[in-house]
Amino acid sequence: MKNLSFSLLPNEYWWGGAVHDGAQFPLSAQSTYHYDFSRQSSGNQTSPFFVSTCGRSLWSEKPFVINFDKGNVTISGLSDIVFDEAGGTLREAYLRGMKAHFPFTGVAPEKAFYVTPQFNTWVELRYDQSEDAILSYAESLLKNGFAPGVLMIDDTWQENYGVWNFSPRRFRDPKGMIEKLHNIGFSVMLWVVPLISPDSREYREALKVPGTILLKEDGEPLLIKWWNGYSAAIDLAQTGGRNWMHAQLNRLMEEYHVDGFKFDGGGVEFYRTAEGLGGISAAERNLCWFNLAAEYRFNEVKDTWKAGGKALNQRLRDKSHSWEGEGLACILPDAINAGLTGIPYLCPDMVGGGEWSHFEPGHDLDEELIVRCAQVSAIFPMMQFSVAPWRVLSKENCERVLSTAKLHEQLGETLYDMVKASSVSGEPILAPLCYWFPSEGLESITDEVMLGSDTLIAPVLHKGETERKVILPTGTWLDENDKEYAGGQTVSVPVTPDSLPIFKKQ
Residues of the chain with pLDDT under 50: none
pLDDT at 303: 94
What does the radius of gyration of the chain's CA atoms come to, in whole angstroms?
23
Domain 430-505 has CATH 2.60.40.10: no
Q: What CATH fold (topology level) applies to the domain 112-425?
A: TIM Barrel (3.20.20)
DSSP 200-254: SHHHHHHHTSTTSB-B-TTSSBPEEEETTEEEEEB-TTSHHHHHHHHHHHHHHHH
pLDDT at 355: 79
> What does the domain layout of the chain look like in residue ranges?
3-101, 112-425, 430-505
pLDDT at 359: 83
Produce one character per residue of 415-428: b if its CB has 16 or more CB atoms within 10 Å, e if not. Answer: bbebbbebbeebbb
Q: How far apart are CA 381 and CA 115, in angstroms?
A: 9
Produce one character per residue of 380-398: b if its CB has 16 or more CB atoms within 10 Å, e if not. Answer: bbbbbbbbbbbebbeeebb
pTM, to two decimals:
0.96
Instruction: Please report which helix (H) or strand (E) contains residue 461, including its range.
Output: none
